Amino acid sequence: MSNTSPQSDDILNSVTGFQEGMARKQQREETGTDKSEFKGKVANDIAKLHPKRLQLEVSQVIEDTASTKTYRLISTAGPLPPFQAGQYINLFVNIDGVETARPYAISSCPTQRDYYDLTVKLVDGGFVTRYLLDEVLAGQQFTATSPMGTFYHNPIFHGEDLVFLAGGSGGAPARSMIESVLNRGLNINFHLIYGNSYESDVIFKDLFRDLAQKHDNFTLTEVISRPTEGYEGLSGHLNADLITSLIGSAEGKTFYICGPTPFNEFCEAQLKTLGVKNKRIRIECNGPPKKPSCLENWPEVVSEEDEVTVKVQGKGEFKAKVGEPLLNSLERNGYFVENACRSGECSLCRVKVIEGEVFNPPEALLRKSDEQFGWVHSCVAFPTTDIEILY
Amino acid sequence: MTDYDAIVIGAGNGGLTAATALQRGGARTLLLERHNIPGGCATSFVRGEFEFEVALHQLSGLGTEKKPFIMRKIFADLGVMDKVEFIEEGELYRILVNDGVNPKLDVTLPASWSGIHKVLKEHFPAQSDSIDKFLKLCADISLESFMGVPRARKQKDEALLKSSCPNYIKYGQQDLKSVLDEFFDDEQIKTVLAAYWCYVGLPPSQINFIDLAVMLYCYGAFKPWHIVGGSQALSSALLESFLEAGGEVRFNCSVDKILTSDSLDKPTAVGVRTEFGEEISSEWVISNASSVLTYGELLDTPTMPKEIQQDFKSREIGTSAFCLYIGLDRTPEELGIKNASTFMCNTMDEELMHDKMSTMDAPVATMLTCYNVDDPSFAPPGKSQVSLLCLQYGEVWDSMAPEDYAQAKYKFADVLIDQAEKIFPGLRDSIEEIEVATPLTMMRYLNTPGGAIYGFRQNAQDSILYRKPYRSVDNLQVVGSWNGVGGFQPTYMAGPAIARIVLKTLKAKKEEVAHV
């Protein structure tokens, strides 16, 4: 059958305009391209902004404080993609044979992309931070996701009057946001209220002080919760009274909160007492709940130490502690599940629960239909009975 | 024996419905999806207290329970009618035109065929007779195209076509602009009636009248619908039905190659290779990726088959969209939003609207959909979910330096919000969550050239009437907007149609084997 004059016997030839249409189509065949110009183009265009993986190498390790180091990461495969100050990358690591990952906010400024800085503060009992701080040296290579996350200044509705309540490691995204505002010369007032436990353990202390001195639109307030004797600065917690005394009215200001989860929850509650609306409070997510059994709707009969069986359909099964996020136990048992935020937000790690029950904390930003069909975000899902999953 | 009877690449509407129909029809089917969730366009994402609908504005083809239409049967056959809930919308759309010259126009078409007549006559009394004639033509030609035309074509009976489809003979392949010009001498009513051109993506001069006639008649007579939980709920329901029937799915797994065998007289698809290097065999491969990707990159033949090159030459890449997903901390009433779909135009010149789609200029036509007007579950109490968008071709974003991208998207978003703010004051101040999607975002999630959302440009000659099914690769089918019509109803219908073909050949082959 010839293709040069298709449908020459088509009954549609009697339809007004059909033959002219066919002629137009054949005319286009003379002038159009075969679309081979798109070969590779879509993948390349996407990869310029959102490569699936980054190939990174530690070019430098900077000791910030006794508990904190900054890892300067360069790309070994093409330019680093742009990001918005405040975003994170999810760093894949292999520790004693366990493939896992942790998200870290980029602490360097997005106006340069020769490197990303990740600033890592030791977490008590932290499996990955301990490894990074103790073992990682310049030259080590990593794979990571490209920058992600929704914690950044959105000029559409955040305004020009910004207050950042940072606790400890929250100084990392704060630095990126501040430098981004200052380096780009934006007409934004930025007030960093930086809470730390000890005077001796304040990340970027000198840098922030220096910037505050040089720039009228950047204000720094340092607050220490466990001051040493003779300390003369502000001490205590970032409560409503303190915030009001520092910023005056909260009206028209947008607040960013980033620190350990208890810090975030405390600050959010304080802002709510000041009448700050949801839209003016942006909180960076910070991992799974440490004590899920203390949360509302936790099934009373189950303790975090109980053991359950997790069956992965068609692949195998293992024992897991109820109090351990499902994603972590999957990883420890050699199952890889795509993931990024590890805080319930991005949904990359969703799995389907076919049998049994899991506990979903409020961190799990599930879709309405997920509940109906049993899909959960494994990074913040706790198996409270024996379960079977599919992914 | 092959690993599977069929491998479906991509869990968009076409892929999901194909896979579900195949598995329910007895074919062992593997569904591969590069993202972490089924749906393609038909998806959602969560920000704060909002779950944002990504793409579905108005589902067509469902009909009411009393007066059901084709999609009820299609969804029932796919096993999802008991898994989803649909909400009827009260209006087709409100259209506002303010070109600064003519009197401002503000017309709301109700979701009722008689109601549309009434409203149009109230606004355009001088066009009363033409309104009746035009709407009757829309209804008649729709019915002819559903019944008479397919029957006559199947029987290859030209006389039957002429006798049973007189309207189709006269208007079936005329462009929309000519037909509107023939019936009306008032520019405003033409703009009101042509508003749905944006669901096709080309201005009235470039699309077939019948495409608009069918949309207007189907939405008018069979209502527009929302899905509770958004289009994601239907995507998830389809996946559930597929799994219940024994289908297998892998997410976060893209396909690198469609493998072919050349032992026969032409290449025959025999399986796929995944991004992880795994080769999986199958009798059939059904691709829900764009046909440009399927034949230009995935297919492992050294060159693209001639027949397909030739076909592609007569096609152009279709439009993408720039879309704002906004959660607002006020109710629709407080914002003055009275109905779900509002078209906002600064001109009556659809050619100009289309020209602007290739630029970064302020758009002269935008759309605002407020989902919780008809379905309160789309937003928390006291709040609203809207999407504010314009159609736009992807090229203007392609050439941008990556570091300029974020600022450019916020700048363009500001333009859309400023425009909408004039009609719905207080919109900007009510923003609680917002996400900006550009054509590059569409490209990232759909993997289509130019971030195209409806496949190739859907001009008259893009229609299947002007094309023959590809024959140069056996056991490979492309399902979805790139091999048919774009939009929700057509892509949901495409899967089962392809599945019927595949199931038939699988059955024939099994019988042949049994015979031997």
Mean pLDDT computed over every residue of chain A? 95
Which residue from B minimizes the CA distance to A47? B444
Amino acid found at A171: G
Which of B229, B312, B398 minimises the CB distance to A368? Answer: B229
Instruction: Inform me whether the C-beta atom of residue A45 falls under 8 Å from chain B C-beta atoms.
Output: yes
User: What was the pLDDT predicted at B275?
Assistant: 96
Which of A81, A278, A368 minimises the CB distance to B402? Answer: A81
Mean pLDDT computed over every residue of chain B? 96
Per-residue pLDDT tens over the stretch A23-65? 999 999 999 999 999 999 999 999 999 999 999 999 999 999 9
Which of A18, A21, A32 minimises the CB distance to B315? Answer: A32
Which of B37, B449, B465 minimises the CB distance to A42? Answer: B449
Which residue from B minimizes the CA distance to A113? B403
Per-residue pLDDT tens over the stretch B329-340? 999 999 999 999
Which of A155, A277, A369 minimises the CB distance to B236? Answer: A369
Determine the Cα–Cα distance for residues A254 and A177; give it in Å rounded to an integer.
13
B12 closest CA partner among B445, B406, B308: B445
Beta strands per DSSP E along A106-172: 116-121, 141-144, 161-167
Q: Would you say residue B92 has pLDDT above 80?
A: yes
Note which residues in 102-161 of chain A have CB less than 8 A from chain B: 113, 150, 154-157
Contacting residues of B for A345, CB less than 8 Å apart: 46
3-class secondary structure, B377: helix
Instruction: Inform me whether the C-beta atom of residue B276 falls under 8 Å from chain A C-beta atoms.
Output: no
Contacting residues of A for B157, CB less than 8 Å apart: 11
Instruction: Decide: A363 and A331 in contact? Cβ < 8 Å.
Output: no
Which residue from A minimizes the CA distance to B450? A42
pLDDT above 70 as % of chain B: 100
Min Cα distance B229 → chain A (Å) is 6
Note which residues in 189-218 of chain B have CB less than 8 A from chain A: none
Per-residue pLDDT tens over the stretch A98-154? 999 999 999 999 999 999 999 999 988 889 999 999 999 999 999 999 999 999 999
User: What was the pLDDT predicted at B262?
Assistant: 83
Instruction: Inform me whether the C-beta atom of residue B312 falls under 8 Å from chain A C-beta atoms.
Output: yes
Instruction: Inform me whether the C-beta atom of residue B428 falls under 8 Å from chain A C-beta atoms.
Output: yes
Determine the Cα–Cα distance for residues A133 and A61; give it in Å rounded to an integer.
10
Model confidence at A9, pLDDT cuts 50, 70, 90, reads low
Q: Do B465 and A12 touch (CB under 8 A)?
A: yes
**For residue A246, which phi and psi values (nearest 5 degrees)?**
-90, -35
Q: Do A25 and B444 touch (CB under 8 A)?
A: no
What's this model's pTM, rounded to 2 decimal places?
0.96
Helix residue ranges, H only, A60-204: 127-135, 171-183
Instruction: Decide: A387 and A356 in contact? Cβ < 8 Å.
Output: yes
User: What was the pLDDT predicted at B265?
Assistant: 82
User: What was the pLDDT predicted at B495?
Assistant: 98
Quick one: average pLDDT of B351-359? 97
End-to-end CA distance of chain A: 46
Contacting residues of B for A16, CB less than 8 Å apart: 169-174
Instruction: Inform me whether the C-beta atom of residue B443 falls under 8 Å from chain A C-beta atoms.
Output: yes
Residue pairs between chains A and B whose CB atoms are closer than 8 Å? 195
Per-residue pLDDT tens over the stretch B163-200? 999 999 999 999 999 999 999 999 999 999 999 999 99
Determine the Cα–Cα distance for residues A343 and A346; give it in Å rounded to an integer.
8
Model confidence at A254, pLDDT cuts 50, 70, 90, reads very high
Determine the Cα–Cα distance for residues B141 and B147; give it in Å rounded to an integer.
10
| Cβ atoms < 10 Å from Cβ of A29 | 17
User: What was the pLDDT predicted at B511?
Assistant: 87
Q: At what angle do helices B13-24 and B231-244 cross, to 10 degrees?
A: 30
Q: Do B170 and A16 touch (CB under 8 A)?
A: yes
Per-residue pLDDT tens over the stretch A143-197? 999 999 999 999 999 999 999 999 999 999 999 999 999 999 999 999 999 999 9
User: What was the pLDDT predicted at A2?
Assistant: 35
Instruction: Inform me whether the C-beta atom of residue A8 falls under 8 Å from chain B C-beta atoms.
Output: no
Instruction: Provide the 8-state DSSP code for A146.
Output: P
Q: Do A38 and B174 touch (CB under 8 A)?
A: no
Which residue from A minimizes the CA distance to B168? A15
Burial of B205 (0-12, 13-18, 19+ CB in 10 A): middle
Q: Would you say residue A6 has pLDDT above 80?
A: no
User: What was the pLDDT predicted at A7?
Assistant: 52
Quick one: average pLDDT of A255-284? 96
B163-188 burial: b if 16+ Cβ within 10 Å, else e: ebbebbbebbbbbbbebbeebbeebb
Per-residue pLDDT tens over the stretch B398-410? 889 999 999 999 9
User: Would you mind telling me the total number of residues written for chain B in this entry?
Assistant: 516
Lowest mean pLDDT among A116-120, B158-162, B261-265, B305-309: B261-265
User: What was the pLDDT predicted at A4?
Assistant: 39
Contacting residues of B for A159, CB less than 8 Å apart: none
Instruction: Provide the 8-state DSSP code for A384.
Output: -
User: What was the pLDDT predicted at B434?
Assistant: 98
Q: Would you say residue B1 has pLDDT above 90?
A: no
Q: Do B313 and A157 touch (CB under 8 A)?
A: no
Which residue from A minimizes the CA distance to B298? A39
Model confidence at B473, pLDDT cuts 50, 70, 90, reads very high
Q: How many CA atoms lie within 13 A of B378 on its CB side?
A: 33
User: What was the pLDDT predicted at B516?
Assistant: 65
Contacting residues of B for A279, CB less than 8 Å apart: 329, 431-433
Which of A3, A25, A156 minimises the CB distance to B431? Answer: A156
Quick one: average pLDDT of B354-359? 97
Q: Would you say residue A3 has pLDDT above 50?
A: no
Which of B36, B443, B461 minimises the CB distance to A25? Answer: B461
Q: Do B173 and A3 touch (CB under 8 A)?
A: no
Q: Which helix (H) or strand (E) holds B496?
A: helix B488-515
Instruction: Decide: B198 and B343 in contact? Cβ < 8 Å.
Output: yes
Q: Compute the 3-state secondary structure of chain B and give helix, strand, coil in percent, each to the nearest 5.
A: 45, 20, 35
User: What was the pLDDT predicted at A126?
Assistant: 87
User: What was the pLDDT predicted at A5?
Assistant: 44
Per-residue pLDDT tens over the stretch B362-410? 999 999 999 999 999 999 999 999 999 999 999 999 889 999 999 999 9
Domains along chain A? Answer: 49-144 (2.40.30.10), 161-283 (3.40.50.80), 292-390 (3.10.20.30)
Note which residues in 250-309 of chain A have CB less than 8 A from chain B: 277-279
Instruction: Provide the 8-state DSSP code for A51.
Output: -
Instruction: Inform me whether the C-beta atom of residue B104 falls under 8 Å from chain A C-beta atoms.
Output: no
Contacting residues of A for B49, CB less than 8 Å apart: 278
Chain B interface disruption, residue of A9, A109, A156, most B CBs within 10 A:
A156
Per-residue pLDDT tens over the stretch B30-40? 999 999 999 99
Instruction: Provide the 8-state DSSP code for A169.
Output: G
Quick one: average pLDDT of A1-25? 75
Model confidence at B510, pLDDT cuts 50, 70, 90, reads confident
Instruction: Inform me whether the C-beta atom of residue A53 falls under 8 Å from chain B C-beta atoms.
Output: no
Which residue from A minimizes the CA distance to B239? A373
Lowest mean pLDDT among A10-19, B319-328, B413-422: A10-19
Q: Do B313 and A46 touch (CB under 8 A)?
A: no
Burial of B80 (0-12, 13-18, 19+ CB in 10 A): buried
Q: Do A278 and B405 touch (CB under 8 A)?
A: no
